[in-house]
Amino acid sequence: MRKAYPSDLTDAQWEIVRPLIPIYKLGRPREVDLREVVNAILYLNRSGCQWDMLPHDLPAKSTVYEYFAQWRDDGTWQEILDTLRQAVRTALGKDPNPSAGSIDSQTVKATEVGGPHGYDGGKQIKGRKRHIVVDTLGLLLAVTVTSAAADDGTAAPEVLKKLSREEFPRLAKLWADTKYHNHSLNGWLSEHGWYVIEVVSRPAGSKTFQVIKWRWVVERTFAWLGRCRIHSRDYERKTSSSEAQIQIGMIGLMLRRLSGEKHKVPFRYPRPQKDAAA
């Protein structure tokens, strides 16, 4: 037995996610505890540490990464995400399949490890861009990571094509900002989309921060994901690994909701002492 980390699955959370983890029966019997593997992946996602800096009381880094990569490549993370999202929506009295949502992107710095990089002239950041689609609750539907140089409207089909009509038959509208007022995107939607993208603009003449109806939902999702330090920038070589880490961050959030637990921040920075003379 080891001392629990804040990112560890509780018994209730493990019972929710355990049936969703594939069991491979080929080869010799498994010796590693799958719950500890998931705990290690959640630890890395929450803390943002390197694979070779996982604590020694968790499974070996090579074992943990092999499971992470296998579940990334065979679609397990996406399947868990979809199942938990439907469960959260059902628990709130909503239809498991959303009828509306939002789309947006986030540009973050990347490291020197390689893979697709680019320069976002608007944000003046060199790195990568995360394109996500969420429902009206802010729960992740799909994610794609590209070079930061990719234009939002032009790159939007890369994430939108991950939404299938069979899986989301009720989807009728996605809200977006003016970056998605794009002729190539409109052409793609006329051929592949069964929904419309409604561009919601800021009030005319506004120069200060404004909460834009429905568009704020996707911004809140980026804030939720920001609680996991691995998302402070893009550390992965493969964009598919970056996408999987975003899915894992959302999986952890939904597990806490389904188990009735809130996000806890156990550490508090000490407050500065007031000047006695004042």
Q: Which residue has the higher pLDDT, 42 or 272?
A: 42
So what's the pLDDT on residue 278?
A: 52
| 57-96 b/e (C-beta count within 10 Å ≥ 16 → b) | ebbebeebbebbeebbeeebbbebbbbbbbbbbeeeeeee
- Say whether 22 sits in a helix, a strand or coil: coil
In this structure, what token pair is assigned to residue 7?
């990112």
- Range in 20-24, 39-43, 87-91, 95-99 with the lowest mean pLDDT: 20-24
Helix (H) or strand (E) run with residue 147 in it: strand 140-147
So what's the pLDDT on residue 208?
A: 63
Task: Check: CB of residue 123 under 8 Å from CB of residue 106.
Answer: no
* Distance separating alpha carbons of residues 262 and 255, to the nearest angstrom: 10
Model-level pTM greater than 0.85? yes
